Amino acid sequence: STVVLVFQAPTTSPSSEFSFCVEKGDKIQMGEALGRWHQQ
Amino acid sequence: FFFLRKLRTATTQPQASLNGDRNSSGSKGKGNPFLVPGATVATIAMLGALHARRMYSDKKIEEARESGIEPELQPDVKAKFLNMLPLRSISRFWGHLCGKELPVWVRPYAHRAWARAFHSNLEEVGLPLKEYASLKDFAIRRLKDGARPINSDPHTLMSPVDGTVLRVGELKEGVMIEQVKGFSYSVSSLLGARSLLPLMAPPAHEDTSCQQENKLSSKSWWRISLASPKLREEPSSPPSPMKGLFYCVIYLTPGNYHRIHSPVDWNVLVRRHFSGRLYPLHSRAIRTIKNLYVENERVVLEGRWQEGYMAMAAVGATNIGSIELFIEPGLRTNLPRKKLVQSEAPQERVYEPQVMLKKGDEVGAFNMG
C-alpha cells in the first residue's frame, strides 16, 4: 500500500521556502518531519 | 548425482515393466523414499531457475541504482498475467481468511511468525499478542504510547505513515508525478477530474495585464469556492507569497505500521473513492506495470491547510484493498462489483460540516481484504 501527499507550500521568498527533509529511498516513521518551512 | 541416479532408476522402471520384469522392478521401486518423479524434479528446477533469475535481475537493478542509474519501465509477461488474475476477489478471500478468530493459545505464535516474516517490531506493539484475535487485527495494530513521537514544530509537515519514501518533489507545469524513469502519471488522474487541485497558482501581485492568467485562476478557485464557503473570502485577502505544489509518495511494506495519520492541522472537504484494481505496489511492480497508482483502488481526501491545498491519497494493493476511514466509518472499499464493466466515476462525498483534523490524528488504516 502507498500514500501520496499533494500540497501547497510557499516557494517565492527564500526566507519562507518549503523544503523536504527526506530524500528518495529514505525510511521514515509516522510523526517524523517530511518537510519544513519558515514563517515570514 | 544421487538425484540423477534415482531419476534414471525411475525412468528405467516402466521399460523394465514392459519387458515383463514386473516383480523385480516393483520390488526396486516400492518402498524407496527418495524416488522423485521426473516431472516434479523438472518443475522444481524450473521454479528454482526462475527465482534465481529474478534474484539476479533484482541484484543488477540494485547495483545500478547504487551507481546512480535509475531503473526504467520494463513491461514483462508477468505483469500481463497479473492483469488476468481476479486480484480483488483474491484479496477479499485473503481478508476473510486472516479475519478468522484464532484460538488464544495460537495467537502469539501466529503473530510472531507474521512479524518475523515481514520484519515488524514486536517491542512497540500496543497490546499483548494474545489480545489480537486475528491476523487482520494484528496487521492494523496500534502502537505503544510514545512509540511514534509527533514532531511538534508548527512549521513542519510530518509523515502520515511508516514507510519508504519513493518520490518527493515539486509539481511543475505538466503536473505529473514520475512513477519510474520514463513514465509519469498526472495528478488529476490520481486525485480525480473533479479535484480541487489549484492548477494555476494565484498571482503574487495584482496585474491587469495578466487577464488570461486571472481568468484561469478564477476558474480553478471557483471550484474551491463551491466546496467551501470559507474560501470565498480568499480573493479579497491581502497578496500572499506564491504557493508551489509539492508531492510525496510513501510505500508501506506489509510489516509496517498500517495506520494513517494527519500530516498537519487541516480541514477535509471532500472524500473520493475510486474502485479499481489491486495490483501489488512493490518496487518490481512499479517497474513493470504502467499507471499503478491511477488504476488501483484508492481513497482520496482533499481539503485546506494554512498554506493552501492539501490532498492525501491512500492507494490499496493486493490483499490490502480494504481502506478504512476513521472519519467515515461507513465507507467500504474492495466490495464485489455488481457490474462486469468497471464504472469510471469515483464515489464522492462532500463533508458538511468540514472534518477538522489535528496534526497526528488517526485518519484511517490499510486493512486486509
Provide, as residue numbers in chain A, all residues whose Cβ is less than 8 Å from the Cβ of B247.
Answer: 4-7
A32 confidence band (pLDDT: 50, 70, 90) = very high
Average pLDDT, integer, range B334-350:
78
Residue with cell 486486509: B368
Amino acid in position B114? W
Residues A8, B307: C-beta atoms closer than 8 Å: yes
Q: Which three cell numbers stand for residue B18?
A: 514392459
Amino acid in position B298? R
What phi, psi does B270 have (nearest 5°)?
Answer: -135, 145
Residue B266 has what pLDDT? 96
Residues A9, B314: C-beta atoms closer than 8 Å: no
For B51, B59, B63, B103, B251, the CA distances from B55, given in Å and listed in that order, are: 6, 6, 12, 37, 21
Residue B172 has what pLDDT? 77
- The reply to whether omega before B353 is within 30° of 0 (cis) is yes
Report the first-to-last Cα separation within chain A, whole angstroms.
37
Residues A26, B165: C-beta atoms closer than 8 Å: yes
Residues A8, B310: C-beta atoms closer than 8 Å: yes
d(CA B322, CA B278): 10
Q: How would you classify residue B146: left for phi > 0, otherwise alpha for psi between -120 and 50, otherwise beta?
A: left
Residue B235 above 50 pLDDT? no
User: Number of CB pairs < 8 Å for A and B?
Assistant: 182
ipTM confidence score: 0.93
Residue of A nearest to B286 (CA): A2
What phi, psi does B53 have (nearest 5°)?
Answer: -65, -40
Q: Is A7 helix (H, G, I), strand (E, B) or coil?
A: strand
Q: Which DSSP symbol is given to B294? A: H
Using CB atoms within 10 A of its CB, is residue B328 exposed (0-12), middle (13-18) or buried (19+)?
middle
Higher pLDDT, A10 or A23: A23
For B84, B226, B275, the CA distances from B214, given in Å and listed in that order, are: 47, 18, 35
- Cβ neighbors of B208 (< 8 A, separation 6 or more) are none
Q: In this predicted model, what pLDDT tens digit does every residue of B320-334 receive, in sequence order? A: 999 999 999 999 999
Residues B163, A25: C-beta atoms closer than 8 Å: no
Residue B210 has what pLDDT? 37
Provide, as residue numbers in chain B, all residues whose Cβ is less than 8 Å from the Cβ of A31.
Answer: 148-151, 158-159, 261, 360
H or E element in which residue A30 lies = none
What phi, psi does B250 have (nearest 5°)?
Answer: -120, 125
Sheet with A33-36, side-by-side order of all strands: A19-20, A33-36, B156-158
Q: In this predicted model, what pLDDT tens digit does every residue of B185-217 receive, in sequence order? A: 999 999 998 888 887 554 444 443 333 333 434
